[in-house]
Structure formats: structure tokens, C-alpha cells
Structure 1
Amino acid sequence: MSADETDPVQDGDTEMDLYGITTWERRSRLDTLSVWIYWLAVRLGQGLVVGLALATLFAVGGVGALTDPAIGALTVVSALPAFALAIYVWYSDVTTSEPASLLSITFLLAVVLAGFAAVLNGLLQPLFGGLGVVGVVLFFYLVVGPVEETIKLLAVRLYAYTDDRFGAVVDGAVYGAVAGLGFATIENALYIGRAVAEVGGVPLGLELIGVGGDITATRALAGPGHVVYSAFAGYYLGLAKFNPGKRGPIVVKGILVAALIHATYNATVTLGTSLIRSATGLSEFAAFVAFVLGYVGFFGLLLVRKLSRYRTAYRRADATASNPVDTDAE
């Protein structure tokens, strides 16, 4: 029986009070106690996940990277393109604007939970080490894509999804985009932190631009991809919320779509950059820019199209509600 079905008794034409028979609502003190115990259990579970994620983030050096002034400055710069794209997705929401509190919590959860992805990727990567190029590709498709997209979606599912203000399918894309921004921010910080550590640290000032410029530019281009991937997955999460009887398969489809796009980028970026460089004579960085703009731009346009289709459907529904057809008119 799916979540939106009812018991046969409820389908009957009866005025009988079905509380405790086939329906339930909070009436007694025991009902109230049960509601509060469930609420507390959920919050404790969320707190446990966040606490474990924070410990993991400390272990992989994410917190240290963010608190270093030089790395923090470069990270902020590297996150600007992803931030601009997330703002666009938020602006495209034709329904009510999402509250800053939920957006901020989703962002922070994505930052914190990213540590899980770093650990899982690190633990599983050696399993593919002896397979050469094939192993690298399999690692992207079987581990990196699914793990990172699931983690980002978890950042939405843990809090914003459960809030009544998550009130439309398209809201899932907005929160997914923000989760992608959070994940890209901490990932950029980790990459930049490693690059800075290799040169023994960088003071704030002009030296910062010279040493951190290349890695910051590279991460700035990679960041928007995370926003696009998780916006797709988030949209399907929103679809699942309003189709409870088919929730599981819809969520899985969203993760598969996002993971496939993500993994394909990882698997083709080096080859694609080389082919563009060979065909055009561009520098390696310029060829990389061309590949990223083409790849992420293509799927970004598909995302825009999906958001546009929702906007059209919403406006038609709103117009119909505002001007109902009088079926009795001759």
C-alpha cells in the first residue's frame, strides 16, 4: 500500500469516529507524549549526524582550512561563480521566496557533511587503484558521483525538507543548489589549503594573488557544476515530497541523474581539455575554461529549461485558480 492510499474502512460512507481504528490524531496525553518523544528522537538523530559530520570535517582538515585567513580569502573568491548560479536558481523560484534561515542551515549542513564524502572517497579509492584508467573512471561513476550527490541531498533532507516552508516541488531545486554551493565552498577550501601548504603558507597581500591565483581560478570554474548537479537532485527530492506514494524511486532517480552528470564531468574533463587544446592551440587553462563552460553550460541550460517548465505550469495553474471556468454556463 502506498503512502497516499487509505484503508477500506475510510473509503466507506460512515460517520463513525475512526480514531484508533483506521485513523490517528493527537487527542490524549499519551498521544501528546508520543508526538514529543518522536520529535526528540528525530532531533537527537539529526544532532548525532551533524556531530559526527563535524568530527569528520575536523579530521580531514576542513575546519582549519576555512579558519586560515589566506585560505578563507581565496575560498570566498573561488565560490563567487557558484554563489551567482545559486542566486539565479533562487531567483527562478516563481513561488514564495525561501527563508534565509532555511537556506543558511542547508548551506552549513552541506559544508559540515562534506567531510563524509572526503572520508568515503578516500577509503574506497584504493579498491580501484590497480585497474588503471578504467579504475579511475569506475571510481568516478561508482563512488564519487553517487557519494557526493547523496551527501548534498542529505543536507537538504535533514532539515529544510521537513519544514512546511518547503512548499513546492521547485523549492527542492533551490535548496539543492544551496547545498551544492556549500559543498563546493568547503571542497574549494580543501583544495586551496593543500596548494597553499605546498608552498609553506601564504600571507595576506599581493603574494596571495600570485600563489593562489591558479588554484582559485580552477576551483571557481569547478564550483558551479556542484550547484547544477545538486539542483537536479533537489528538484527530484521536491517531486518526491509531493508524490509520497512513489517517494523512494523518485529520490533515487534524482541522485542517479546528478551522479551521472557529475561523474561524466570528472571522467571527461582531462581528455576534453586536451582535445580542445590540440584542436585550437589554446593554453591548457584556456582549454579547461572552454570545456567547463561548454559542459556545465549545457546542463545548466537543461536545468533552466526544467525550471522554466515549472514556472509555466505554475502560472497556468494560478491563472486557472484565479479565473475558474463556469461549467454551468450555456
Structure 2
Amino acid sequence: MLVILAAGFAPGLALLSFFYLKDYYGTEPLSVVSKAFIFGAVLVLPIMFLEYILKTENIIMNHFSTAFLSAGLIEEFFKWFILFYVIYNHVEFDEPYDGIVYGAAVSLGFATLENIFYLIGNGVDQAIGRALLPVSSHALFGVIMGYYFGRGKFTNKNKHVYISLAFVVPYLLHGIYDYILLTQEYWGYWMLPFMVFLWWYGLKKVKMARVLSDIHASQLL
């Protein structure tokens, strides 16, 4: 069991540390980041329940609805909800890059507990594949969501547009990710370029958030 817990936690904590340590303007308090991580983990249970209900009531009838309703819509909405109502107005969310940290924390909290449940049911030999695909994709969905939250909070124009994009963009990317897994027999041929794009897009948002934080810091001087 200890091996499963270690394998389940390791990729999430490693990815969260990566994005956390890129915050050069006063790293976020670990207590608040941990809170966001725990909130994300707690989301696993109600989301699993909702997805079970959708399946048993035959609301989910095909791969498209599984990818874009059961997985993408529900999971990304609940993460968005936590970020907006718990983190967005927090006093420690005081620069654009902080959205990246908290977005990654919530998303990786969810991915980590989901990963542990999966490894318990399917064995620790699945750990590497889980780290490379589901855990890292969740991290990047959270980074992208957090970028738009950070952009929305520290702009004077079109705040509602950025807050909406914080949900819409990760939702669409998540749906595409699951749709590839569900519909393609040789899904690796499609998933590899998609994951390359996702990492490129996520890291591009990290750089843009850093630039926005630089501008924000200079305005405070």
C-alpha cells in the first residue's frame, strides 16, 4: 500500500513543485497551496458519484457524451468552481502568476487522489503511464485555467471574458483528450501530438503569466 501511495503522490507533487518554484515574486504560502490541493482531492468523490449517476441513468450514451459531458464538463466545472469561489478573492492571490500555482494545485489534488484509486484497482505497474498522461494532462488543464483566472483578476477590461475562458478552454481540451482515448484504436498516434501541443500551450501560458507578473510588479513600485 505504501508503494501505491508513493507512486500515486509522486507525479502530482513533482509537477506542482515545478510550477510552484517558477513563482519568482514571493512564493505562495504552502498552507494556501495545500488547501487548494486538498480541495481538488475532495472533488474526486462527488464527481465520481455524479459520473456514476449519469451512466446508470443512461444519460451518457456514447463516447462523445462521455468525453465532453461526464469527464470534461463535470471535472473542469468543479475545478473552476473551487478556484473562483475559494481562491480567486483570497488575499494571497496577489499577482497573475499565482493563478498558475493555484490552478495546478486544485487540478493536481484531483489527479492525485484519482491516480491513487486507479492504482489500487489496477496495480502499481500502471504508474508510469498514469504519470505521463492523466496526471500531467490534469496539471496542464489546471495551469491553463489558472492563467485565465490570473489574467482576469488583474485586468481592467473584459474580466468576465477571461473568467469564462478559464472554464471553456480547459473543458474543450479535456474533452478532446478523453475523446481520443475512447474512440481511437491506436490512440497513441493521436495522443502524442496532442500532449506535445498541450505541453507547448501550457508552458506558453506559464511564460505569459510570468510576463504579466513582471508588469504587475513594476506597477507597484
* TM-score between the two structures when normalised by the length of structure 2: 0.84
CA distance in 2, matches of 1:292, 1:88: 23
Report the residue type matching 1:240 in the other structure. Answer: G
**Alignment-derived partner of residue 156 in structure 1:** 83
Q: Which runs of 5+ in 1 are unaligned?
A: 1-69, 130-134, 196-211, 276-287, 323-330
Letter in 2 for 1:127: I
CA distance in 1, matches of 2:99, 2:195: 20
- CA distance in 2 between counterparts of 1:147 and 1:190 reads 19
User: In structure 1, what is the equivalent of residue 39 of structure 2?
Assistant: 109
Change (3 A) 1:176 1:122: same
C-alpha distance 311-151 of structure 1, shift in aligned 2 (>3 A): same
Q: Give RMSD over aligned pairs.
A: 2.6
Tell me which residue corresponds to 2:60: 128
Cα distance, 1:304 vs structure 2: 1.2
From 106, 128, 131, the counterpart of 1:220: 131
2:178 maps to 1:309? no
User: Deviation per CA, 1:79-107, whole angstroms, max 9, x where unpaired?
Assistant: 42333222222222232211101001011
CA distance in 1, matches of 2:161, 2:130: 33
Q: Map residues 83-232 of structure 1 onto 2, 5 A cutoff.
A: 83-125=13-55, 126-129=58-61, 135-195=62-122, 212-221=123-132, 222-232=134-144
Alpha carbons of structure 1 residues 182 and 319: separation in structure 2 relative to 1, 3 Å: closer
Gaps of 5+ in 2: none
Q: Is the 8 A contact 1:79 1:223 kept in 2?
A: no
Supply the distance in 2 between the matched residues of 1:128 and 1:114 (Cα, whole angstroms): 19
% identical equivalent positions: 25
The 3 A distance-change label for structure 1 pair 79 and 225 is farther
- Cα distance in 1 between the residues matched to 2:220 and 2:111: 40
Cα separation, 2, equivalents of 1:317 and 1:110: 28
| One-letter amino acid of the counterpart of residue 214, structure 1 | D
Distance 1:178 1:320, change over 3 A: closer
Measure how far apart 1:156 and its partner are. Answer: 2.7
Q: Quick one: structure 1 residues 182 and 128, their matched pair in 2 at CA, closer, same or farther if it must change by over 3 Å?
A: same
Q: Matches of 1:244 and 1:320 in 2, distance apart?
A: 14
Shift of 1:319: 5.9
* TM-score normalised per structure 1: 0.59
Number of residues paired by the alignment? 218
- Relative distance call for 1:183 and 1:313 in structure 2 (3 A) is closer
Could you say which residue in structure 2 is the equivalent of 1:257?
Answer: 169
Q: Which residue of 2 aligns with 1:299?
A: 198
1:56-71, aligned counterparts within 5 Å?
A: 70=1
Q: CA deviation at 1:253?
A: 1.6
| Structure 2: distance between partners of 1:250 and 1:315 | 19
Structure 1 residue 172 displacement after superposition: 1.0
Distance 1:162 1:319, change over 3 A: closer
* Counterpart for residue 59 of structure 1: none
Q: CA deviation at 1:119?
A: 1.4
Contact 1:181 1:227 in 2 (8 A): yes
| Residue 249 to residue 314, structure 1, CA distance change in 2 (3 Å) | closer
Which protein has the larger Cα radius of gyration, Structure 1 or Structure 2? 1
CA distance in 2, matches of 1:107, 1:301: 24
Alpha-carbon separation, structure 2, partners of 1:91 and 1:274 = 36
CA contact (8 A) 2:148 2:163 kept: yes
Report SS of the residue matched to 1:89. helix
